[in-house]
């Protein structure tokens, strides 16, 4: 294990709910619950104000409604969460090439990989600056844990919540873990926790005291060794940017070598577009753009450029590929061209949540009231709670609720004062669904740091030539 607390774990605070509060001024400081609103819906997350009532992730929505009847209930807006996640991950990737995203709002970073930090002091400074950069770029708070291992870094960020930073000095791990509940260890859920409790083990220290053999007898070989090692704070896992090895690419081989430079450029643009379509089809974004060229003599070269944040923007991929091409001599003719994007980011949490998104659909079906059905011959429009709308007269707002052929809209934007509520017929032609607004309006006064990780950021961190 390393001797400096240079593994960083970041976890955004009440992520989906905080995004909603930042988007909707009237919800700041209020109980906000995001999730599937249908009959089988579950809570994705609750704002800290709602957690006071006992509401938490994965709780059935019906139970949440009983605990917090006056909270605002919203359907997730994944595209907004993904865009903000990209900004945050972009900031992390500016610190180190070794970033391991665990979900949309959570990642490990190895700060030693490129010298962002080397001891406790530099690690703390880096973590503090990261938190303020995240705030500047997204308007949101994230908590940071710093430790000499992944396990402790994650525990530290959890302890630091909300809106905090905790650094665990190497050597103090066991003293910190000892008195805590066994549930603090990764993988110890309610079932394992109960099992251990029945054997008289409730704290981490008691695991250590029981000894490895006893633990293996209790929970089996597979978990016993691991659990004992964790209780001793042994964790040698390194931060793996495994997604860096994956890529999405497309290439074309030409029957006749292309000599015309203009044609080569056009082909590269076409391939860039195709590559982005694939990327988007797989719901991925990537940070490194790769150009591949095989020349008339079969010599093959690749050129790549790493952006400051992941992108799936066709304009950015096209521009980058064109820039890479400028450095390649194609005078003898080209047999093959390829464009790829690597350093991919995808997010498992969204898949997990696919269920609740589906339930949103169910919910909308449920709220289609009979009178509306009779009155409206064209297909009824869906107004999911929390989603953005625009009214020709009143401007941008969000759906506060709908039913009985009516939709209630609150007119406000991220940088407005809390707005007013108005109700419309669900088929009012003046009301249309709208795209979400950015949380932090882009302006000329924007500092260097706020541009980092912006989705369409053309900025690059440098060009790397590979495999001539």
Q: What residues act catalytically?
A: 106
The DSSP annotation for 214-241 comes to: HHHHHH-HHHHHHHHHHHTT---PPP--
Q: Which of 4, 7, 10, 15 binds Mg ion (CB under 5 A)?
A: 15
Looking at the Cβ atoms of 89 and 290, the one nearer to Mg ion is 89
Looking at the Cβ atoms of 11 and 359, the one nearer to Mg ion is 11
CB 137, CB 18: distance < 8 Å:
no
How many residues sit close enough to ligand DCP to count as binding (CB under 6 A)? 17
Does the footprint of Mg ion cover residue 11 (CB under 5 A)?
yes
Could you tell me if residue 246 is left (phi over 0), alpha (psi between -120 and 50 degrees) or otherwise beta? Answer: beta
Q: Is there a binding annotation on residue 235?
A: no
**Residue 203 carries which DSSP code?**
B
* Residue closest to Mg ion (Cβ): 11
- Supply φ then ψ for residue 11, to 5 degrees: -140, 120
Does the footprint of ligand DCP cover residue 354 (CB under 6 A)?
no
Q: Choose one: 97-105, 265-273, 381-389, 391-399; the region binding Mg ion (CB under 5 A).
A: 97-105
Q: Interaction with ligand DCP in 29-48: which residues (CB under 6 A)?
A: 44-45
How many whole angstroms separate alpha carbon 85 and alpha carbon 54?
27
Does the footprint of ligand DCP cover residue 383 (CB under 6 A)?
no
Q: Choose one: 100-108, 166-174, 297-305, 421-429; the region binding ligand DCP (CB under 6 A).
A: 100-108
Q: Which of 20, 86, 105, 235 binds Mg ion (CB under 5 A)?
A: 105
The one of Mg ion, ligand DCP, none whose footprint includes residue 161, by CB under 5 to 8 A per kind, is ligand DCP
Select from 211, 315, 232 the least CA-distant residue to 273: 315
Where does residue 456 rank: exposed (0-12), middle (13-18), buried (19+ CB within 10 A)? exposed
CB of 348 to ligand DCP, least distance (A): 10
Select from 339, 247, 334 the least CA-distant residue to 302: 339
Strand partners, 388: 398
The one of Mg ion, ligand DCP, none whose footprint includes residue 353, by CB under 5 to 8 A per kind, is ligand DCP
Those residues whose C-beta lies under 8 Å from the C-beta of residue 275, and which sit 6 or more positions away, are 248, 249, 250, 317, 339, 340, 341
Helix (H) or strand (E) holding 46: strand 43-46
Looking at the Cβ atoms of 13 and 364, the one nearer to Mg ion is 13
Q: Which of 126, 349, 400, 457 binds ligand DCP (CB under 6 A)?
A: 349
Coil, strand or helix: which one is 457? Answer: coil
Does the footprint of ligand DCP cover residue 141 (CB under 6 A)?
no
Those residues whose C-beta lies under 8 Å from the C-beta of residue 101, and which sit 6 or more positions away, are 89, 107, 243, 345, 347
Looking at the Cβ atoms of 14 and 271, the one nearer to Mg ion is 14
Looking at the Cβ atoms of 106 and 364, the one nearer to ligand DCP is 106
CB of 12 to Mg ion, least distance (A): 5
Angle between helices 212-219 and 221-231 (to 10 degrees): 140
Q: Which letter, b or e, does each residue of 60-75 get, where b requires 16 or more Cβ atoms within 10 Å of its Cβ? A: ebeebbebbeebbbbb
Q: Is there a binding annotation on residue 11?
A: yes
Q: Interaction with ligand DCP in 157-176: which residues (CB under 6 A)?
A: 161-162
Q: Interaction with ligand DCP in 1-30: which residues (CB under 6 A)?
A: 11-16
Select from 383, 422, 388 the least CA-distant residue to 405: 383
CB of 445 to ligand DCP, least distance (A): 30
**Residue 101 carries which DSSP code?**
E
Looking at the Cβ atoms of 15 and 347, the one nearer to Mg ion is 15
Q: Choose one: 12-20, 193-201, 398-406, 426-434; the region binding Mg ion (CB under 5 A).
A: 12-20
Does the footprint of ligand DCP cover residue 353 (CB under 6 A)?
yes
Looking at the Cβ atoms of 51 and 287, the one nearer to ligand DCP is 51
CB 290, CB 342: distance < 8 Å:
yes
Q: Interaction with ligand DCP in 208-227: which residues (CB under 6 A)?
A: none
Helix (H) or strand (E) holding 85: helix 78-93
How many whole angstroms separate alpha carbon 232 and alpha carbon 237?
15
CB of 49 to ligand DCP, least distance (A): 12
Q: Which of 105, 133, 312, 363 binds ligand DCP (CB under 6 A)?
A: 105
Strand partners, 247: 342
CB of 218 to ligand DCP, least distance (A): 28
CB of 158 to Mg ion, least distance (A): 9
Looking at the Cβ atoms of 61 and 372, the one nearer to ligand DCP is 61
Give the annotated binding-site residues: 11, 105
Residues interacting with Mg ion, by CB under 5 A? Answer: 11-12, 15, 105
Give the annotated binding-site residues for Mg(2+): 11, 105
Residues interacting with ligand DCP, by CB under 6 A? Answer: 11-16, 44-45, 57-58, 103, 105-106, 161-162, 349, 353
């Amino acid at each position: 294990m390393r001797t400096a607390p240079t593994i960083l774990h970041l976890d955004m605070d009440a992520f989906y709910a905080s995004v909603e509060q930042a988007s909707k001024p009237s919800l700041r400081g209020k109980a906000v619950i995001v999730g599937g609103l249908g009959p089988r819906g579950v809570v994705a997350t609750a704002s800290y104000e709602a957690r006071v009532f006992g509401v938490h992730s994965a709780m059935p929505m019906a139970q949440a409604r009983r605990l917090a009847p006056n909270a605002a209930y919203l359907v997730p807006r994944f595209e907004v969460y993904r865009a903000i996640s990209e900004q945050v991950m972009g900031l992390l990737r500016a610190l180190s090439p070794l970033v391991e995203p665990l979900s949309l709002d959570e990642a490990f970073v190895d700060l030693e990989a490129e010298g962002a930090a080397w001891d406790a002091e530099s690690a703390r400074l880096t973590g503090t600056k990261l938190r303020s950069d995240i705030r500047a770029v997204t308007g949101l708070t994230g908590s940071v844990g710093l430790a000499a291992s992944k396990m402790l870094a994650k525990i530290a960020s959890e302890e630091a919540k909300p809106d905090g930073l905790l650094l665990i000095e190497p050597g103090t791990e066991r003293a910190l873990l000892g008195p805590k509940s066994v549930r603090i260890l990764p993988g110890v859920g309610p079932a394992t926790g109960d099992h251990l409790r029945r054997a008289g083990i409730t704290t981490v220290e008691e695991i250590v005291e029981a000894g490895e053999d006893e633990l293996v007898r209790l929970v089996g070989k597979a978990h016993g060794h691991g659990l004992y090692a964790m209780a001793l704070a042994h964790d040698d896992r390194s931060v793996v940017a495994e997604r860096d090895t994956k890529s999405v690419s497309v290439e074309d081989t030409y029957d006749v070598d292309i000599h015309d430079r203009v044609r080569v450029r056009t082909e590269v643009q076409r391939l860039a577009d195709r590559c982005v379509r694939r990327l988007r089809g797989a719901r991925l974004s990537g940070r490194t753009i790769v150009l591949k060229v095989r020349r008339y003599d079969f010599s093959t070269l690749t050129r790549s450029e790493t952006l400051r944040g992941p992108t799936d923007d066709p304009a950015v991929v096209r521009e980058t590929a064109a820039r890479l091409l400028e450095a390649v001599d194609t005078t003898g003719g080209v047999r093959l061209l390829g464009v790829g994007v690597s350093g991919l980011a995808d997010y498992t949490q969204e898949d997990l949540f696919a269920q609740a998104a589906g339930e949103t659909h169910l919910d909308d079906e449920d709220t289609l009231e009979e009178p509306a059905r009779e009155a409206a011959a064209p297909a009824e429009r869906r107004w999911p709670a929390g989603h953005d709308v625009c009214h020709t007269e009143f401007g941008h707002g969000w759906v506060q609720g709908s039913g009985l052929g009516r939709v209630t809209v609150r007119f406000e934007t991220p940088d407005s004062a809390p707005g007013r509520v108005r109700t419309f017929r669900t088929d009012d032609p003046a009301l249309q669904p709208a795209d979400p607004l950015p949380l932090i309006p882009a302006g000329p006064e924007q500092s260097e740091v706020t541009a980092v990780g912006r989705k369409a950021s053309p900025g690059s961190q440098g060009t790397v030539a590979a495999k001539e």
